[in-house]
Amino acid sequence: MLITTKGQVTIPLEIREKMGFLPHTEVQFLIKGNVVLLEKKGDMPSRGKKLIDHMRGRATVKMTTDEIMALTRGE
């Protein structure tokens, strides 16, 4: 795939169909290290989802949901 002199590149049909990139779809480019990602602008995760994803699996205390609920209720 080559970039044109205008900085354009064609997204292959298979990828456009799989990702739902229809004409006039707003997209954004993200840079992560040496990788450039393309994503739909409307499908961006919320700040809360990003925080939850970042925190997932970092807990150091193993408690069940029932144990946590009992603590919050003062039982």
Any domain includes 28: yes
Structure confidence at residue 8 (pLDDT): 94
Structure confidence at residue 57 (pLDDT): 86
Any domain includes 3: no
CA–CA distances in Å: residue 15 to residues 4, 27, 28: 19, 14, 16
Any domain includes 41: yes
pLDDT digits (tens, 9 = 90+) for 3-61: 999 999 999 999 999 988 888 888 899 999 999 999 988 756 677 888 888 888 888 88
Instruction: Give the residue numbers spanning the domain of 54.
Output: 13-73
Any domain includes 1: no
Rounded to whole angstroms, the Cα distance separating 20 from 38 reads 12
Any domain includes 33: yes
pTM given for the model: 0.49
The b/e string for 29-48 (b: 16+ C-beta within 10 A; e otherwise) is: eeeeeeeeeeeeeeeeeeee
Any domain includes 37: yes
Q: How many domains does the chain have?
A: 1
